[in-house]
């Protein structure tokens, strides 16, 4: 029944997150439409994503996303990149290189634009260990 519901809702909302994808606690989808995530992607705790996100891989080595990461709308994360904890990825960015911890990146290709206020857009964080 769960598999059937997963397929039905995936088609209805245009969200493709395979069951084998590893996702931490507090995962939040801001606007649930047009999201495609590769099955081998590892997503940390308290990650917030927005609409029209693509996390892909042609070579079978998708992204590893740290904890407390905000990913804006229309973002494309390509191949084997590591996104550090408390990072922010701006709208419309194409991430092709690793993102350092606490950095805000934006642009095509994404470049570090700031280290101020790391993880500032993460709302309602799930506290682990309490």
Active site residues per annotation: 31
> What are φ and ψ of residue 2, in 5° steps?
-65, -40
| C-alpha–C-alpha distance, residues 29 and 49, integer Å | 5
Beta bridge pairs of residue 56: 78
Is the alpha carbon torsion for 103, 62, 26, 95 positive or negative?
positive
In angstroms, the Cα distances linking 91 to 51, 64, 74, 78, 105 are 10, 19, 6, 15, 9
């Amino acid at each position: 029944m769960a598999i059937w519901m997963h397929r039905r809702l995936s088609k209805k909302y245009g969200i493709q997150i395979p069951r084998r994808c590893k996702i931490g606690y507090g995962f939040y989808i801001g606007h649930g439409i047009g999201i495609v995530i590769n099955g081998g992607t590892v997503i940390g705790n308290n990650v917030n994503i927005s609409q029209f996100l693509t996390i892909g891989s042609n070579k079978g080595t998708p992204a590893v996303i740290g904890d407390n990461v905000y990913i804006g709308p229309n973002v494309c994360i390509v191949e084997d990149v590591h996104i550090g904890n408390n990072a922010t990825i701006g709208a419309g960015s194409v991430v092709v290189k690793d993102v350092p911890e606490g950095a805000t990146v934006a642009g095509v290709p994404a470049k570090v634009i700031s280290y101020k206020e790391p993880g500032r857009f993460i709302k309602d964080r799930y506290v682990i260990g309490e």
